[in-house]
């Protein structure tokens, strides 16, 4: 399973109680405004934090940002670092909130 993940699929899996590896690559102020409980690693800090994610190398990692651009770059970077199953949340937190209003 690789590639993108939709907000609908993510919501179904979270509602089912799955324990997921989620990385939020937005900035801290964006995370404070609204988040889905991912691990906050701003895109600019991802390269320095990749060693801390060794346990996730062979696991599914779902990455999101505001709309999908930064997370797509993060997924590309993680894949080049050897992550086997990094996935981008299509539409980011904007799409998430459209499907899952607070």
Known catalytic residues? 65
Nearest to 33 by CA among 86, 79, 96, 77: 96
Burial of 48 (0-12, 13-18, 19+ CB in 10 A): exposed
- How many H helices and E strands in the chain? 5, 4
């Amino acid at each position: 399973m690789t590639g993108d993940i939709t907000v609908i699929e993510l919501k179904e899996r979270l509602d089912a109680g799955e324990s997921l590896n989620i990385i939020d690559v937005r900035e801290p102020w964006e995370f404070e405004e609204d988040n889905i409980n991912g691990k906050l690693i701003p895109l600019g800090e991802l390269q320095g934090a990749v060693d801390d994610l060794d346990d996730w190398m062979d696991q599914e990692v779902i990455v999101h940002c505001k709309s999908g651009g930064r997370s797509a770059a993060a997924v590309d970077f993680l894949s080049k670092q050897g992550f086997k199953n990094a996935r981008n949340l299509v539409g980011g937190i904007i799409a998430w909130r459209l499907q899952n209003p607070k």
